[in-house]
Amino acid sequence: MKKILWYLIAFLLGILPGFFIVFNSVFSDPSGNFFERLVTYLLVIVSFGVLGFLLGRTRENPLMMGTMLSLFSIILLVLYLFKEPGSLLLILSYLVLTLGASYLGAKWGAPKTKD
């Protein structure tokens, strides 16, 4: 039960950056210039990385924590892909950044165990 609660918390925490950073970047400015895109990529990495790091401290599976944290973004991006199939590369880049930052943050935040 405790595991499910942490995964639910991770999902709920991922809603804000998923909607306001990831989806807004893809929906509002699909053809942004290089500097704007770099800034949004950095925002995605920092926001999901920090949240992943904090959630990694819970000692839960980092892969599941990262996936649950970025699940809302993944759902939004996949649904948006059906509406705008021409933005496949942009959407894939955000999927990779979101999942990668969430997982790596959770992995780095996980307490180190002594073997």
Closest CA to 65 of 1, 8, 2: 8
Please identify which residue in the block is written with the tokens 């950044």: 97
* Within-domain flag for 114: no
State the pLDDT at residue 76. Answer: 95
| Number of domains within the chain | 1
The range of the structural domain enclosing residue 92 comes to 2-109
d(CA 6, CA 27): 30
Per-residue pLDDT tens digits of the chain, which is 115 residues long: 788 999 999 999 999 999 999 999 888 876 778 888 899 999 999 999 999 999 998 888 888 999 999 999 999 999 999 988 888 999 999 999 999 999 999 999 888 765 4
Q: Cα torsion for 81, 85, 90, 91, to the nearest 10°?
A: 20
* Within-domain flag for 115: no
State the pLDDT at residue 30. Answer: 66
The pTM assigned to this predicted structure is: 0.89
* Within-domain flag for 69: yes
CA distances from 42 to 30, 39, 75, 80, 95 (A): 16, 5, 21, 21, 14
